[in-house]
Structure 1
């Protein structure tokens, strides 16, 4: 009779490097499963170069005990690699360098050549290091906020993906140093209304101060725009923060004055609207303009959402209207509707007189807005700038001057929070104010109180730089972490 074939359970005992797991033969040296259960295939695997080399290392490591010095050196190298990855992640986020740059390319080669470190993959930084860096930044912001009195600014925008996104800035109020705002939250809103803004502020502050409670008695000032839902949200938040003063952004208000001026001069507005289109994507026209008038800048391209840019364009045309007309008339035969519109506007006799009126009466508008946009401006200086703005606005005579003055009065009267800040500024200047229901020990904290929400606008600019056309797949949670890390600066 033929001898029966032995089963793997029987002959595997003669090969101690192999075991049977889940009815499959497993090589402990190579840490892999052998695809075939035949004895011949196992012998072939044992003769392979890979198995022979790994068996030598396996035998050495089995009998060699690691020394204390080797163990410490190994741990030290791991700590150094972790710190390198951590610092690399923080540097890339703060510099707005996408993690994708770590893929094969010149950036990776540079790091490998000059840092002499293993360069982690993009997914490694995103999954293992972004969260720790984010937590470190949040802890540093908490340390800087400390137990001081605080202000916050809130606003919302629509990002390039069509989402409603709100941003919260938190800063301290101290009498000895200028204030500095920190981005502490950036969330997507399902809709934009007073309830969503109120809930966003409360949840963001609660999350930021965890595990401690929100110090409601320390939050003194809220800055936002003058939208109706923001006014209502400010009223709602006063229920939770009894000392809260809600001031709408003064720079926003002065920009509304600039918008009123724009509406009073439709001829100038039409010139600016068509003038900026003539040189867009027209390199030959730009070249001709620079060759004809090399010392004169090209016509500005005002954007209505950027405060005061329309008036700056009007001042440009007031100074260079003759040169601009000379250049445009050279393109009269070009098939461009904007050129034809400008030529028709040049025939209007009111144009030059309107430009002269704007130049002589409202040049202070842009200057004041620019000054208010600066960080660390003392409250007394901000209030005095607005007061001077009001005096210069009221000094303009004529029908236009009356319309603009009435608009300014309407804007300031609705901003009750700024009225309270004006009273505080008077106290800080040594004046006596009746019926000021604010604790006298708190008043000095408002010395550097902000009156504008420009910090939030800057955070949205950084947000849009991060969420560019090549990074549309970022989740809102990752966007929040990237934004907070990117906006935080160690040297501040």
Structure 2
């Protein structure tokens, strides 16, 4: 009977069983763990020749001369898991895809440091384990503490997300992402109520610990807040004061169409034309406001108020009869511009600076109440002062500052007044979420995994 030729996989397996320095690569080739390279295996001579190389001998020598303590820490399964955890946390908090652990340069780096690099699948499994471990840490951290919650939803890359953050009134400048929900449709008040109830149950906290809810002033959020205050006896609902001033900025924008037209036309004329943009080097590139960035439109009006003559000179010098050039020339030469820009500077120039101040996590309800009441818009042609007053009357900021509820202790009122009055922290979590939704990430068909990664990312400072 003729001899059956040994298969390639069988050859590799036999060598791996005989020599402990080798393993099987994902492509079923012979891989040297000491030298981090593929070795020919067709003949035993090739393997023996590699073992005799200077590079392999030095690698063996470096490995054997390590201290016994390091070897034990490396071999012991608990320590190996610790290294895998550290690796996964580092990658997740730096938004590095876990697929990068397969890159040869990454593997070589850790091998040179005396570490066995875990597989990608092991790292992915570790994400879920670490997420569960962090949940337990949160339970311990929030246990028996007076808490506040920040909630908001967003729409990114065709998906809807609802984030719930939680923090303690003892340290209101920091909060943690306790739930990232992927939604199939836009939330309503019932969804917000159920979401907060689910979080309270998951954190195993009692109703007396829920003291403050911070959100935007959307109708469904306000409706949910009213219902939740009946369920949680000490709950107060604060609508974001930064959103309030952003709405004021949008009212100003709608009331001065000529200024808005100028900003939009200049932005369109230079955004994709480097030569036109270069013409502004002498006075600075005009700001390009973003709708979702609070107060950015007002910052742009300040730029044109200070540099309108220079902008006119630059734009009028442009040659060509294109639609864009004609429209920007018409807008910059509008006779109403000077009076409108003057009026904005005279009455509403202080809003953008206050919005910037409110974005800080250390900004407090007490400071917000004082700053909003101290706002002076002069003649206030748009009656924004009345608009802010009406909004504050519906906001529990007023109740907190005027100590209106007798069932809340003075000590709790003091803590509430030191708490943050904006939802800037949850807006930052959405900015971080964009990193996981980039086109080059593989979450497109597995968005259910995103909450675990987001918790590791946002709560990376949790101890």
Common topology (TM > 0.5): yes
Count of residues paired in the alignment: 411
Report 1:290-329 matches (<5 A): 290=281, 293=282, 296-329=283-316
Matched, 1:452 2:452: no
Matched, 1:141 2:138: yes
Could you tell me how far apart the structure 1 residues matched to 2:16 and 2:297 are?
74
311-320 vs 276-285, which deviates more?
276-285
**1:111-137 deviation per Cα after TM superposition (whole angstroms, max 9, x unaligned):** 333x2222223222112x111221232
For 2:280, what is the secondary structure of its paired residue?
Answer: helix
Structure-2 residue corresponding to 1:168? 164
**1:434-470 deviation per Cα after TM superposition (whole angstroms, max 9, x unaligned):** 6655233422322421211111101111111221111
Matched, 1:473 2:453: no
When residues 55 and 154 of structure 1 are mapped into structure 2, their CA distance, relative to the original with a 3 A threshold, is closer
Matched, 1:421 2:400: yes
Report 1:234-273 matches (<5 A): 234-273=225-264
For 2:152, what is the secondary structure of its paired residue?
Answer: strand
When residues 180 and 329 of structure 1 are mapped into structure 2, their CA distance, relative to the original with a 3 A threshold, is same
When residues 260 and 53 of structure 1 are mapped into structure 2, their CA distance, relative to the original with a 3 A threshold, is closer
318-327 vs 99-108, which deviates more?
99-108
Aligned partner of 2:156 among 144, 156, 159 = 159
When residues 477 and 350 of structure 1 are mapped into structure 2, their CA distance, relative to the original with a 3 A threshold, is same
Could you tell me how far apart the structure 2 residues matched to 1:241 and 1:196 are?
17
When residues 354 and 76 of structure 1 are mapped into structure 2, their CA distance, relative to the original with a 3 A threshold, is same
Matched, 1:282 2:273: yes
Is the Cα–Cα contact under 8 Å of residues 265 and 327 in structure 2 kept in the other structure?
A: yes
Structure-2 residue corresponding to 1:397? 379
Report 1:25-174 matches (<5 A): 73=72, 76-113=75-112, 115-127=113-125, 129-160=126-157, 162-174=158-170
Matched, 1:188 2:182: yes
When residues 376 and 289 of structure 1 are mapped into structure 2, their CA distance, relative to the original with a 3 A threshold, is closer
**1:86-116 deviation per Cα after TM superposition (whole angstroms, max 9, x unaligned):** 1000100011111122223433433333x22
**1:130-164 deviation per Cα after TM superposition (whole angstroms, max 9, x unaligned):** 1122123223333332321000011111121x222
When residues 435 and 238 of structure 1 are mapped into structure 2, their CA distance, relative to the original with a 3 A threshold, is closer
Structure-1 residue corresponding to 2:357? 371
TM-superposed deviation, 1:73 = 4.5
Structure-2 residue corresponding to 1:412? 392
TM-superposed deviation, 1:269 = 0.8
Structure-1 residue corresponding to 2:23? none
**1:328-381 deviation per Cα after TM superposition (whole angstroms, max 9, x unaligned):** 12224152x333222112332210121122122211101111111111223322
471-480 vs 451-460, which deviates more?
471-480
Could you tell me how far apart the structure 2 residues matched to 1:330 and 1:487 are?
49
Is the Cα–Cα contact under 8 Å of residues 267 and 286 in structure 2 kept in the other structure?
A: yes
Could you tell me how far apart the structure 2 residues matched to 1:330 and 1:110 are?
57
Please report the TM-score for the alignment, with normalisation by the length of structure 1: 0.77
List alignment gaps of at least 5 residues for structure 2.
21-67
Greater CA radius of gyration, 1 or 2?
A: 1
Could you tell me how far apart the structure 2 residues matched to 1:349 and 1:42 are?
94
For 1:299, what is the secondary structure of its paired residue?
Answer: coil
Could you tell me how far apart the structure 2 residues matched to 1:481 and 1:54 are?
36
Structure-2 residue corresponding to 1:488? 459
When residues 79 and 362 of structure 1 are mapped into structure 2, their CA distance, relative to the original with a 3 A threshold, is same
TM-superposed deviation, 1:51 = 9.4
For 2:410, what is the secondary structure of its paired residue?
Answer: coil
TM-superposed deviation, 1:190 = 3.1
**1:405-435 deviation per Cα after TM superposition (whole angstroms, max 9, x unaligned):** 33223322332x12212214xxxxxxxxx66
Could you tell me how far apart the structure 1 residues matched to 2:13 and 2:330 are?
87
For 2:392, what is the secondary structure of its paired residue?
Answer: helix
For 1:490, what is the secondary structure of its paired residue?
Answer: coil
**1:246-280 deviation per Cα after TM superposition (whole angstroms, max 9, x unaligned):** 11111111111111111111110111111111111
Could you tell me how far apart the structure 1 residues matched to 2:326 and 2:243 are?
35
**1:61-86 deviation per Cα after TM superposition (whole angstroms, max 9, x unaligned):** xxxxxxxx99x959844333322111
Is the Cα–Cα contact under 8 Å of residues 212 and 236 in structure 2 kept in the other structure?
A: yes
Is the Cα–Cα contact under 8 Å of residues 152 and 170 in structure 1 kept in the other structure?
A: yes
Is the Cα–Cα contact under 8 Å of residues 200 and 206 in structure 2 kept in the other structure?
A: no
| RMSD of equivalent CA atoms | 2.9
TM-superposed deviation, 1:56 = 7.6
Is the Cα–Cα contact under 8 Å of residues 146 and 209 in structure 2 kept in the other structure?
A: yes
Could you tell me how far apart the structure 1 residues matched to 2:87 and 2:347 are?
53
List alignment gaps of at least 5 residues for structure 1.
1-37, 59-68, 425-433
Could you tell me how far apart the structure 1 residues matched to 2:16 and 2:179 are?
52
